[in-house]
Amino acid sequence: MKSLIVRIVPLSLLLAGAALAHCDTIDGPVATSARQALERTDVRLVLHWVQPKDEVEVRRAFDEAIAVRSLNSQSRQLADRYFLETVVRVHRAGEGAAYTGLKPAGEGVDPGVVLADKTVESGNVAPLIEAFSRHMASDMRKRFDRMDAARKFAPGDVEAGRAFVEAYVDFIHYAESVHKAIASQGHAH
């Protein structure tokens, strides 16, 4: 079952389109942990989101933010923003992803990621597997049916032959991309 989960989860990227960052939103898990670290004055609450080699930078930003937060309301907001942006930037760099700024709540979050987060919260992977499997099966069936109908063309009918080739390529490439997603080891961190 664990192996199936590891293979199914990457399908969120495939089935829902190109995934946009989720860890760079103001309400994402990285920023949430960073806020908790600030509120509890405990940088350890966010360090799990960064690689060990990046701890020094995050600890420094944390110390700077804590030192400034108590000055006034505006300083607190600025210090908090600075720390959140630092942690998210460092986390994204650790994933090999570009940092393009802290995004508003929910902006650009892939539906597959939303479903995966709900799965993490609920502790039940079955609905995620069912949703992804249903979506993939539906898409695969549509592509196959289109290709199957198009392949019955008369020899020499170039236009119909090209329609078949288009449907064939779409079907084969979709099957290939699903297989690659299933066979992948997931996102390297």
Q: Are 99 and 89 in contact (CB under 8 A)?
A: yes
Q: Are 4 and 183 in contact (CB under 8 A)?
A: no
Between CA 189 and CA 180 the distance in angstroms is: 18
Amino acid making up residue 185: Q
In this prediction, the residues of the chain whose per-residue pLDDT falls under 50 are 1-20
pLDDT digits (tens, 9 = 90+) for 52-94: 999 999 999 999 999 999 999 999 999 999 999 999 999 999 9
Rounded Cα gap, residues 187 and 33, in angstroms: 21
> In this predicted structure, what is the pLDDT of residue 84?
97
Rounded Cα distance, 53 and 44, in Å: 15
**pLDDT at residue number 187:** 61
DSSP single-letter state for residue 54: G
> Would you kindly state where each structural domain of the chain is located, as residue ranges?
21-95, 111-183
Residue type, 115: L
